[in-house]
Chains A and B, each alone.
Chain A
Amino acid sequence: AQSVTQLGSHVSVSEGALVLLRCNYSSSVPPYLFWYVQYPNQGLQLLLKYTSAATLVKGINGFEAEFKKSETSFHLTKPSAHMSDAAEYFCAVNLSYGNKLVFGAGTILRVKS
């Protein structure tokens, strides 16, 4: 069965600092992996996805993530945090196309001025 673990329910960084949000997955077959962002009282917006084409994936708003099979990880990073990055971030996995997403519990990112 697939599962996703996000380490750290809350992460706090200063504006301009590196953002690192951790995601580890469990899957019996090579997965597809996603990062979504959710602003208060809104739906989820796709940041980026890994589909096995390249291990380093670039997304919107300056975010990127690296797929590391040996570590079963797909951590999300951004070199310099902006106040507008404050939101909740979800890592998700599914197996090939046509399948439901399995989400982690989410990480709330706080950006301090």
Chain B
Amino acid sequence: DTGVSQDPRHKITKRGQNVTFRCDPISEHNRLYWYRQTLGQGPEFLTYFQNEAQLEKSRLLSDRFSAERPKGSFSTLEIQRTEQGDSAMYLCASSLVMVGAETQYFGPGTRLLVL
């Protein structure tokens, strides 16, 4: 069990550019979540997948954001035409769905700075 990994760990981009982040969940975990965390706040839910199906998207996820999990393993989060307000830490978590409370295991995050 190698844990959830995210790449890159840091990204600096100019406003208007597109960026893509990758998340590799714990193997055999069928659920994958994306959260966004801004300074001084707790993480906020963006979207989640069960296997390759995207089951829920937050209203925070504007149409500039798109997420995929093509084979039910790794996931990508793309932000098009970045804005300064997109600057945040993007966290990925994975879990194994089961009866009772699932535990979400978080990756180290990707910190995005939009100049």
A interface residues (Cβ-Cβ under 8 A, vs B): 4, 9, 32, 34, 36, 41-46, 49-51, 90, 92, 94, 96-98, 100-106
Contacts and interface: CB of A to CB of B under 8 A. Distances in A.
B102 A44 contact: no
A57 to B, nearest CB: 11
Contact of A105 (B42, B97, B108): B42
Chain B interface size band reads 20 to 34
30 contacts: A4-B42, A32-B100, A34-B103, A41-B108, A41-B109, A42-B108, A43-B106, A43-B107, A43-B109, A44-B91, A45-B106, A46-B105, A49-B103, A90-B42, A94-B101, A96-B101, A97-B97, A97-B98, A97-B99, A97-B101, A98-B97, A100-B48, A100-B56, A101-B33, A101-B45, A102-B45, A103-B42, A103-B43, A105-B42, A106-B42
Closest 10 interchain pairs by CB?
A103-B42, A32-B101, A43-B106, A100-B45, A44-B106, A51-B101, A43-B108, A97-B102, A43-B109, A90-B42
Given A97-B99, A97-B101, A106 B41 contact: yes
Interface string B27-66: 0000101010000111111001010000010100000000
Nearest to B50: A98
Contacts of A9: 40
B101 A49 contact: yes
Contacts of B44: 103
A51 B98 CA distance: 13
Contacts of B33: 100-101
Contacts of A106: 40-42
